[in-house]
């Protein structure tokens, strides 16, 4: 501040708050009080002129000293620096901060939690021993987030409510999150994904908070007639409906629930408005789909959907997705306009909540990494009298093979004394002049070989060894299933894509 003041004082003709016209040397310019006063005036002007030169010299000396001591330089505006990790810049695309679509969230979780098989094809950088990777083809169960108390999700959208009252949104809308007024744990959430309006209530269950995702702001707080179980908002935000703890169905407009429409027979799974808000739909756990007209508040239609009872269900535009209690992994899709089952399911999986952890069960099986073990650890033992080979396998289990046929046999009924035989780095051994092989090479490079062994009901175990004399081999998107451990009998190669 001091440096800025002195430079301003030097460069500016005047400073605010100071009347320079009262300076003693400023009033003498052009003054003439007659011939008698000329000599006096002349002497005063000369004296004042010396004073001006002296003051100017003081100012100039002070300015130079300030520039030298403080290193003053002309101020240059620095270019904007890119945002670092954890710092986000608002933009037209993300006006409320960073947001994600559901596809982006699932792809991120899949990459972090389910390593694809191609990750095992990178050879190690140092000598062994190297870990063993277990891969299997299954429907991945992804952990989406923790501390979750409620959610609403569909084929291309997800809203998750948390213990702290926050609601995170993954969808096409730019709003990434909203927060309930009381900041208490979320009890339930309603959202259909394509509407900009989302609603939620906390554990108190006495008030429904409605949010507009277009403006990322709270639109209304609507008190309820009792503890609320299920609720829905119309596509335009003008209609509201809820089911309370007594299974009473309420509806209304202008943020009021003032019309009791019915008392339902069974626990409700979900309610929703049609796009034009002409009908209100409700689905219960026994499979009843009931529709009411909002013009006269009378029942318009009802249908019993076979396959119940149902554990979970939600409306998704013109379809109702139901999950039976007996087969939770399989969904039933009901086409509401057609009044029949549909084979088209837009969803790629299913959400489920367990112990405040939100999961996503993918519907399509994929090859994923299941475990990493300390090492291969294959060991072989033989019993000469019985001609039986005992293999201590990668999963710690003992498996038995017939030495003559090389095929797996049941566990011997009586206890036998086996003698260990050494297994080479190439996963083979020799006994009684016969070569046996427990695994096969998948990829062989100059210095490394990738081996695979298949164990039924578990998957493929993969591990690297240093290559001694195994011929080069390229990976051809196939993995071996060796049913016979005799080396002269080749394994069956199965495609994994």
316 pLDDT band, cuts 50/70/90, is confident
User: What is the CB-side half-sphere exposure of residue 178 using CA atoms within 13 A?
Assistant: 26
Own/partner long-range contacts of 212-221 (Cβ < 8 Å, ≥24 apart): 212/237, 213/169, 213/171, 213/173, 213/174, 213/175, 214/173, 214/175, 215/175, 216/95, 216/96, 216/174, 216/175, 216/178, 217/178, 218/178, 218/181, 220/255, 221/181
| Cβ-based neighbour number of residue 277 at 10 Å | 14
Structural tokens at position 186: 């979320």
Number of domains in the chain: 3
280 and 388 fall within a common domain: no
Mean pLDDT for the stretch of residues 335-354: 83
277/241 Cα distance (integer angstroms): 11
149/350 Cα distance (integer angstroms): 17
170 and 222 fall within a common domain: yes
356 and 382 fall within a common domain: no
- Given a cut of 60, whether residue 322 has pLDDT beyond it is yes
100/91 Cα distance (integer angstroms): 14
Residue 359, pLDDT score: 95
252 and 202 fall within a common domain: yes
332/289 Cα distance (integer angstroms): 13
Greater confidence (93 vs 339) lies with 339
41 pLDDT band, cuts 50/70/90, is very low
145 and 283 fall within a common domain: yes
294 and 394 fall within a common domain: no
Residue 285, pLDDT score: 94
Domain boundary (329, 363, 397) is at 363
Q: Write the pLDDT tens digit of every residue in 67-83.
A: 444 443 333 333 333 33
Mean pLDDT for the stretch of residues 378-402: 93
341 and 303 fall within a common domain: yes
318 and 403 fall within a common domain: no
**Residue pair 314/331 in contact by the 8 Å Cβ criterion:** no
Residue 433 main-chain phi, psi, to 5 deg? 80, 5
With respect to residue 455, please indicate whether it lies within any of the assigned structural domains.
yes
Structural tokens at position 403: 């030495």
Residue 22's SS3 state is: helix
387 and 414 fall within a common domain: yes
Domain boundary (363, 389, 412) is at 363
**Which domain covers residue 199, as residue numbers?**
141-363
- Domain of residue 157, CATH code: 2.130.10.10
Residue 363, pLDDT score: 81
CA separation, residue 10 to residues 7, 55, 62, 160, 483 (Å) = 5, 11, 9, 62, 95
Sequence length of the chain is 497
Structural tokens at position 75: 């101020």
277 and 382 fall within a common domain: no
Residue 116, pLDDT score: 65
Residue 172, pLDDT score: 87
pTM score of the predicted model: 0.65
Residue 124, pLDDT score: 78
356 and 397 fall within a common domain: no
423 and 309 fall within a common domain: no
Tell me, letter by letter, the H, E, C secondary structure of 38-98. HHHHHHHHHHHHHHHHHHHHHHHHHHHHHHHHHCCCCCCCCCCCCCCCCCCCCCCCCECEC
130/127 Cα distance (integer angstroms): 8
Which residue, 66, 96, 141, 104, is CA-closest to 366?
141
CA separation, residue 42 to residues 32, 38, 51, 289, 374 (Å) = 10, 6, 14, 110, 104
């Amino acid at each position: 501040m001091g440096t800025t003041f002195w430079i301003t004082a030097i460069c500016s003709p005047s400073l605010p708050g100071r009347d320079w016209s009262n300076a003693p040397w400023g009033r003498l310019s052009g003054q003439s009080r007659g011939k008698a006063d000329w000599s006096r005036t002349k002497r005063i002007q000369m004296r004042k002129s010396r004073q001006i030169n002296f003051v100017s010299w003081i100012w100039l000396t002070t300015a130079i000293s300030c520039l030298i001591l403080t290193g003053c330089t002309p101020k240059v505006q620095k270019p904007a620096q890119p945002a670092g990790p954890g710092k986000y810049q608002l933009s037209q695309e993300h006006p409320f901060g960073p947001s994600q679509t559901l596809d982006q969230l699932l792809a991120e979780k899949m990459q972090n939690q389910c390593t694809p098989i191609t990750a095992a094809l990178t050879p190690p950088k140092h000598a062994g021993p190297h870990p063993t990777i277990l891969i299997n083809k299954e429907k991945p169960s992804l952990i989406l987030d923790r501390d979750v108390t409620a959610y609403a999700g569909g084929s291309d959208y997800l809203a998750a409510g948390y213990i702290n009252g926050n609601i995170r949104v993954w969808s096409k809308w730019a709003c990434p999150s909203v927060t309930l007024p009381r900041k208490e744990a979320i009890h339930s959430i309603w959202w259909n994904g394509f509407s900009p309006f989302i609603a939620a209530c906390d554990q108190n269950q006495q008030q429904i908070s409605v949010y507009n995702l277009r403006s990322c702001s709270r639109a209304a707080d609507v008190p309820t007639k009792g503890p609320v179980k299920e609720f829905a908002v119309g596509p335009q935000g003008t209609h509201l409906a809820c089911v309370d703890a007594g299974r009473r169905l309420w509806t209304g407009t202008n943020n009021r629930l003032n019309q009791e429409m019915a008392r339902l027979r069974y626990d409700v799974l979900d309610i929703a408005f049609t796009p034009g808000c002409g009908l209100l739909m409700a689905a219960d756990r026994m499979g009843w789909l009931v529709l009411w007209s909002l013009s006269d508040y009378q029942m318009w239609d009802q249908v019993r959907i076979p396959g119940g009872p149902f554990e979970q269900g939600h409306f998704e535009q013109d379809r109702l997705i139901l999950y039976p209690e007996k087969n939770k992994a399989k969904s039933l899709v009901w086409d509401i306009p057609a009044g029949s089952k549909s084979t088209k399911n837009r969803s790629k999986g299913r959400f489920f909540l367990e112990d405040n952890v939100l999961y996503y069960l993918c519907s399509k099986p994929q090859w994923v990494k299941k475990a990493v073990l300390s090492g291969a650890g294959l060991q072989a033992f033989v019993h000469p009298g019985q001609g039986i080979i005992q293999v201590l396998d990668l999963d710690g289990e003992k498996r038995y093979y017939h030495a003559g046929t090389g095929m797996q046999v049941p566990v011997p009924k009586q206890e036998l004394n086996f003698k260990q035989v050494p297994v080479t780095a190439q996963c083979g051994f020799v006994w009684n002049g016969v070569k046996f092989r427990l695994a096969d090479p998948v990829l062989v490079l100059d210095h490394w070989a990738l081996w695979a062994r298949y164990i039924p009901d578990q998957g493929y175990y993969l591990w690297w060894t240093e290559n001694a004399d195994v011929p080069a081999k390229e990976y051809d998107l196939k993995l071996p299933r060796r049913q016979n451990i005799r080396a002269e009998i080749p394994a069956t190669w199965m495609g994994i894509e």
